[in-house]
Structure 1
Amino acid sequence: MKFLIKSATIVDPNSSFNGQVKDILIDNGQITQIDDQIDAKDAQLYDATGQFVSPGWMDMHVNIGDPGYETKEDIASGCAAAAAGGFTAIAVMPNTNPPLHSKSEIEYLKNRSKGQAVNVYPIGCLSAKREGVDIAELFDMTQSGAVAFSDGNKPVQNAGLMMRSLQYALAFNGLVISYPEDASIAEKAKVNEGVTATYLGMKGIPNMAEELMVARDIFLTEYTGGKIHFTTISAAGSVDLIRAARKKGLKVTADVAAHHLMLDETVLTGFDSNYKVKPPLRTLTDIKALKAGLKDGTIDTVVSQHTPHEIEFKDQEFETAAFGISALETSFALFNMSCEKVLSLEEMVDALAVSPREILGLAVPSIELNRAAELTVFDPDHQWTLNTENIKSKSKNTPFIGKQLKGKALAIVNNGQVVLN
């Protein structure tokens, strides 16, 4: 199949065509021509005038229910939601049943995702059964296709386990992903500790619960010589700690969830459980620090932290509702709206397409002749409204239904397939 993208502005820091308005011809999954004017009568035509094309975006923190929780999200619906959000690749957390803690589960997920327009990369468990006691079969999972190791939304409380995991993964250049939270401090609190928590009459989670674990894992990384990635950081102090670690030359990277850039704790005053996330929404001071971290490179990439739930998990009192937002389809809009005056378009594409793959050791797609076509077409000025009937995910647990959003991925091209939004 031939696909012709007309008059798109190329945004690709690794391309010789960066910043230029070009036609791009794709034939059988390959970029066969890039020119000012291309005529291909037998090609499917897409007019991208006023739009941008970049290397396909990657989200390195996605929760998919398969295996075990397919009623929340299965591979097909998760990939459809990812494509609608502009992602050509996703790395999925091991929060499944059974968890992705051996090569069998990794190979199952790889096989289940074959033929999709979105590439699916499994993140294996750091500990067996995600129990936080014994190291999982890290090397075997790497051989089967795991790109990193994490216990997902279960923070590793055992410092010895984290240390030994970093040491073991070092032998094969493996990446450990830390979800930083000291559970003994966070306990069963549901919101950020501060004025809003007091107003709501709820116990809060202090920034320190996150910052202590960031500090601990930085010390362990320095001691072992390993490499670590902090996912969904939310606190200003965490940004400072990671910035200092990077200045020391430690192998430390980090991401932030798009909703933590857009929303602060005050949106919780209406007790809408769709805003209930973990780590909790913080303050405007924290948001300012997160944006500064993105700008200076302390934070490498932005993730959706896509966490789909059936309606019964969210349609209940705030205190008992589950954490998480179904976020793949709105992640770019939130990132764009919150950071359009902070980051250039090229910096945003670097955070969406280049940095996550570099962190995971994956090949970075580029818009060049004779390269595989893995592209995202998008418009940062596109105004749109999220409607329930248009959501591709199985789950609708998002506070943005009916809200006006700015910035949308309009098409992806990958694996010889085209998905138009």
Structure 2
Amino acid sequence: MATILITSATLVSAGHPLHMTSVDVLVKNGKIEQVGKKVKAEGKFEEIDGKGSYLSIGFFDLNVNFGEPGYETKEDIQTGTAASAAGGFTGVAVHPNTNPPIHSRSEVALIVNSAKGNLVDVFPVGALSKKREGNELAELYDMKITGAVAFTDGTRSVQQAGLMGRALLYAKGFDGLILSFAQDESIAGDNKMNEGEVSTYLGMKGIPNLAESIMISRDLFLAEYNESKIHFSTISTEESVDLIKKAKAKGIKVTCDVAAHNLLFTDEDVKSFDSHYKVSPPLRTKKDVKALLKGLKDGVIDAIVSQHTPQEIEFKDVEFQIAKDGIIASQTVLPMLLKAGLNVEQIVEKLAVNPRNILNLPVPKIEVGNEANLVLFSTDKKWTLDTKSNKSKSSNSPWFGQEVTGKVIAVLNNNQVIKNN
């Protein structure tokens, strides 16, 4: 990477002496050489104008799906990381919703080796059970020492309480982290959207909030009993926020995240039968969205994720009931969070700092001598997600073809730089 001088950007770094002030940052050979009010570069360098924009450590996504291995037609590591980088992410945790699943050291090694040399750091999340079938524990420790940062069955919720309890106890022995996707399938069934007034109006069977809260209650009891830590992925209901808030007050070692789209869209959007609004967990009510946003501001919800889930057109351009779940979201997380009303300090905390803390990964610092792990972003620049700007192989997004506000200008990591024109 050439010498880079970022000028006149507002630094967002809580605890830094220059937090929320205008700074210049000089990066040479991938390392931060100077941070200050007026920095002068010598010799040949590239200047990136940060006036009116914000500079922070790179975002980190706790929940992405890249398809590889097995579903490379949806996304592979190269296109997935390109989309992540365009969205401001310098690190991602790849979930095991693949074929075969990431359920042994072989698949973990494949991900780690395939992602080497990338601007975006890729961390595999191993499957909790073999083949993600929910019957027998996978090789958790083997995957951990090969590079897995956590364990989950991804979009398949663990239905056996005994298996979840054993996973929590076993992972505790080597400080592993279990991620729980909370949904009781006997209550959720094969239903397609949130249960409520809108599902009744549309004549569509719904998934009640109870399907999520009953599993969160179960897993909180299991975590408390085993004195282990647990993280809940993509919570979506008011009841879930309340349960986790009480658990934290009780001293249970629990963290959680929410998908960006669950902070903005509601089941009202499903009235159009647009399959781009079909996600798991489903879009809930305005009351739930309000509770999720309050949970974020109160510190109950620790992180925000993209839940980037690419699907080929033949799985989305069909009737709502038979369409696959998920949207591509890596590139639109920032616009969604700004539209939801979050400020830049909240965005950096929930999207850059806390995700790394949850996984016990080092949090980059914007200090002289440190590796440059940075994102420069604007809160008011507009752009359109279309075939030209989209970096993913797939296009299943409710934002596709629309102008959005909030743009990532540049991303620096691993002695590389990517700029969005």
User: Structure 2 length as normaliser, TM-score?
Assistant: 0.98
Indicate the SS of the match to 1:33: strand
Displaced runs of 4+ in structure 1, greater than 3 A? none
- Counterparts of 2:58 and 2:189, CA distance in 1: 39
1:3-24 per-position Cα deviation (integer Å, ceiling 9, x unaligned): 1101111101143321221110
In structure 1, the residue matched to 2:265 is 263
Q: Match of 2:361, as an amino acid?
A: L
The residue number in structure 1 matching 2:164 is 162
- Corresponding residue number in structure 1 for 2:242: 240
Q: Which amino acid aligns with 1:231?
A: S
Judge conservation of contact 1:24–1:35 (CA < 8 Å) in 2. yes
AA aligned to 2:141 is: F
Partner in structure 1 of residue 97 of structure 2: 95
Summarize the alignment of residues 162-311 of structure 1 with structure 2, pairs less than 5 Å apart: 162-311=164-313
Query: Contact 1:126/1:150 (CA < 8 Å) preserved in 2?
Result: yes
Of the structure 1 ranges 221-230 and 38-47, higher mean CA displacement relative to structure 2 is found in 38-47
Residue type at the aligned position of 2:116: K
Three-state SS of the structure 2 residue aligned to 1:400 is: coil
CA distance in 1, matches of 2:124, 2:408: 24
Q: Post-superposition shift, 1:386?
A: 1.7
- Structure 1 position 18 matched with structure 2 position 45: no
Tell me if the contact between 1:231 and 1:255 (Cα under 8 Å) persists in the aligned partners.
yes
Aligned to 2:4: 3
Partner of 2:360: 361
Shift of 1:381: 1.8
Residue 392, structure 1, aligned to residue 405, structure 2: no
SS across alignment from 1:82: helix
Secondary structure of the residue aligned to 2:117 is coil
String of CA shifts for 1:390-420, please: whole Å, max 9, x gaps: 1000000011112232212111000000000
Looking at structure 2, the residues matched to 189 and 388 of structure 1 have their Cα atoms a distance apart, in angstroms, of 32
How far the C-alpha of 1:388 sits from its partner, in A, is 2.6
CA contact (8 A) 1:14 1:366 kept: no
**Whole-Å separation in 2 of the counterparts to 1:127 and 1:51:** 44
Higher mean C-alpha displacement, 405-414 vs 52-61: 405-414
Q: Which amino acid in 2 is paired with 1:359?
A: I
Q: Distance in 2 between matches of 1:117 and 1:149?
A: 24
CA distance in 2, matches of 1:399, 1:85: 16
Deviation at 1:383, TM superposition (A): 2.3
Q: Residue 16 of structure 1 contacts residue 368 of structure 1 at CA under 8 Å; is this kept in 2?
A: no
1:47 — aligned with what? 49
2: CA distance between counterparts of 1:382 and 1:338?
Answer: 16
* Conserved? CA contact 1:4–1:45, under 8 Å: yes
Distance in 2 between the 1:71 and 1:281 partners?
A: 26
CA distance in 2, matches of 1:388, 1:395: 10
Offset of residue 140 of structure 1: 0.8
Which residue of structure 2 aligns with residue 379 of structure 1?
378
Q: Which residue of 1 aligns with 2:127?
A: 125
The 3-state SS of whatever aligns with 2:60 is: strand
Tell me the CA shift for residue 220 of structure 1.
Answer: 0.3
- C-alpha distance in 1 between matches for 2:281 and 2:51: 40
Write out aligned runs for 1:69-80 (5 A): 69-80=71-82
Flag structure 2 segments of 5+ consecutive residues without an equivalent.
Answer: none
